[in-house]
A and B are shown apart, each in its own frame.
Chain A
């Protein structure tokens, strides 16, 4: 039975994230003051038969470890 997992991928600390900056700059115009350090990343959800291989899968394809950090969350119940 496959396990459900969620992978969160975000730009590494210290790497300029123009998308995050743009969102941050847009917020005050809508009246949302006091928001900072916005970073925009990606989320991938998947069912995987062998959760042991998730790390390898992230390193090889889902994230580019040179520029991105990732976190794996295992969820209950495969779809």
Chain B
């Protein structure tokens, strides 16, 4: 198992993401934004940061990079893709995930450890759970200024009906005004997952939680046979 972690000018969490992939027992390498060749890579992280300075809108420019074109093809063929924070914004801008991330309701940059609830959809990533809803809580930090998840109501209804809300902020912990407390969603096939909080910063007991590893493992297992 080998992860590829994209690196744009302005990415800043790609090295933590690499370390997280390795701690989950896999190999990992960086993929520069001008690279197009993903041969030998089994799963992709689109990491956090401020790709291309977040000019215009967060993620708007990054989606046109050669690496993102390759990720589009990789995702279409069923390869697992995890977008974290800015990476989630990029995947939404690229149309690989529904919705958009808007300025936090408070207008403040938020940085705090919070609880995420794994929704039932995540259990689809772990067949041994038998599809039961466990609603496990994960302690994971979030740090962003533009993380308010938005999609039109009919899109939100569809996401809920099809188990595509991957992660929700625990009750009372929504840090940004996201619709229906949504912290992360997945695509229809289930192999593309994006979330605002940072699982790659929760992989070492030293920093209080290793729950983030579970996110990497879940997405790695989410590949869809092409």
Contact = CB atoms under 8 A, between A and B. Distances in A.
Q: Which of A61, A62, A66 gathers the greatest number of chain B CB atoms within 10 Å?
A: A66
A18 B100 contact: no
Interface string B72-93: 0000000000000000000001
Contacts of B93: 64
A66 B100 CA distance: 8
Interface residues of A, number: 10
Contacts of B136: none
Interface in A50-67: 61-62, 64, 66-67
Contacts of A16: 102, 105, 148, 177
Interface in B96-128: 99-100, 102-107
B104 A18 contact: yes
B60 A64 contact: yes
Contacts of B104: 18
Nearest to B64: A61
B32 interface: no
Contacts of A15: 102, 150
Interface string B140-168: 00000000101110000000000000000
Nearest to A16: B105
B39 interface: no
Nearest to A22: B107
B103 A18 contact: yes
A22 B60 CA distance: 25
Interface of A: 15-16, 18-19, 22, 61-62, 64, 66-67
Given A16-B105, A64-B100, 9 more contacts: A15-B102, A16-B102, A16-B148, A16-B177, A61-B60, A61-B64, A62-B56, A66-B100, A66-B152
Interface of B: 56-57, 60, 64, 93, 99-100, 102-107, 148, 150-152, 177
26 contacts: A15-B102, A15-B150, A16-B102, A16-B105, A16-B148, A16-B177, A18-B103, A18-B104, A18-B105, A18-B106, A18-B107, A19-B103, A19-B107, A61-B60, A61-B64, A62-B56, A64-B57, A64-B60, A64-B93, A64-B100, A66-B100, A66-B150, A66-B151, A66-B152, A67-B102, A67-B150
